[in-house]
Amino acid sequence: MEALAVRLSGLDPYVDGAIRIVAFYDTLMRRRVDLPALARASAGLAECVAGIRLHGTGRVIRVAADGRAAADPSSGPSSPAPAFTTVPITLDEEEIGTVWLERPGAPNQLDEVLLERLALATATAVERYGPARTTMADPALVELVISADSDEAARARALRLLGFTPGRPVQVLAVRSRLPLDRIAGLVCPGSTVKAAPLAGVGAVLATTVDRTRFPEGVRAGIGSAESPDRSWRQARTAVRFTTPRRPVVHHDDLGAVALLARVGDQALRDNTDIAAIARIAGNPEDLETLDAYCATGSLRRAAELLHLHHSSVARRLEQIAKSLGIELTEHTGLVRASLALTAWRLIHDDDIF
């Protein structure tokens, strides 16, 4: 093989340079260098600023050709911006970051080769020095973690393989969305280990921390407690069934006794007269939205504010809805009945959300 490489390099200077770059990075990988060392070596080889960025952690490494940390170009005197040549870093078929060169002037013809090898070496280093920063995981491993049938030894081993620290609490989320699951998981679990996999039409996300304020629009999510992964998964699947457009993210602990509705069979719910009455008005989106706003606020004026309508218009609608339901909505017990019936009706139709 070495003899063939020598013969090829003699035919074309480009091939000679490419072979030398490949050999350069092969040596770095054999020496098991870390990310800063990779960036320094790349900057020295390219004779310009080299950069590495990991999406999962937001970590950025920029090194100048002399091996020092590169100054932010935006903080210096006004000058033409360097040309960037970028290549994605992929691990397990997922893009986990990018590498680039900041070369003044036109790119070198070997820059692409250098960056491809840098990207490969970076992915190898990420996998070697700690949990892989990929978000998507093997569904079989995730299922082993959250299954009630798994023994604790198998669960602990699966968590280690996924990159979680032994003994550290893990929360499980059940997610419904048309957005990519890895993007959602990365947004709501910034700077911490997070793994996700699609399971039976629902996205399962395992995380050590969750920021409930970072869910993007169009996502429904249920969050379980951090007691045990299998219990957390059951709770998350229950909680996601209680999500609504006004309440797209629900923590199981916040449901309290209402969570017991999820244990009632669908047929028993359909047979209830209050729920059957909700089903009759469900064909009118305006009525359903008005009732939802009133149940959510318990106030005619606050419901009107939510709906951006005059309170007299909302009052007329509620009067008609009350007649259709056969429930006196202005009374406390009537409001409770309507709220429970609306929630139960949604549980029956929770599969129709997406």
- How many other C-beta atoms can be found within 10 angstroms of the C-beta atom of residue 354? 9
Which tens digit of pLDDT belongs to each residue from 184-209?
998 898 878 899 999 978 999 999 99
Per-residue pLDDT for 2 more than 50?
no
Residue 24 is given by DSSP the state: H
Per-residue pLDDT for 330 more than 60?
yes
Which tens digit of pLDDT belongs to each residue from 312-326?
999 999 999 999 999
Partners of residue 141 on adjacent β-strands: none
Q: What percent of the chain has pLDDT over 70?
A: 89
Q: What is the CATH number of domain 2-128?
A: 3.30.450.40
Segment among 31-35, 161-165, 320-324 with least mean pLDDT: 161-165
Specify the domain boundaries for CATH 3.30.450.40 within the chain.
2-128
pLDDT band at 75 (very low <50, low <70, confident <90, very high): very low
**Token pair for residue 79?**
């000058």
More confident residue, 240 or 72: 240
Residue 149 is given by DSSP the state: T
Specify the domain boundaries for CATH 1.10.10.2840 within the chain.
264-352
Segment among 99-103, 126-130, 168-172, 293-297 with least mean pLDDT: 126-130
What CATH superfamily is the domain 264-352? PucR C-terminal helix-turn-helix domain (1.10.10.2840)
Per-residue pLDDT for 273 more than 90?
yes
Query: In which element (H, E) is residue 303 found?
Result: helix 300-307
pLDDT at position 174 = 97
HSE (side-chain half, CA atoms, 13 Å) at 281:
27
Q: Once rounded to an integer, what is the mean pLDDT over residues 86-94? A: 83
pLDDT at position 129 = 66
For the chain, what is the mean pLDDT? 87
Q: Once rounded to an integer, what is the mean pLDDT over residues 166-170? A: 85
Q: Once rounded to an integer, what is the mean pLDDT over residues 88-109? A: 86
pTM of the model: 0.63
Per-residue pLDDT for 134 more than 90?
no
pLDDT band at 83 (very low <50, low <70, confident <90, very high): low
Which tens digit of pLDDT belongs to each residue from 21-30?
999 999 999 9
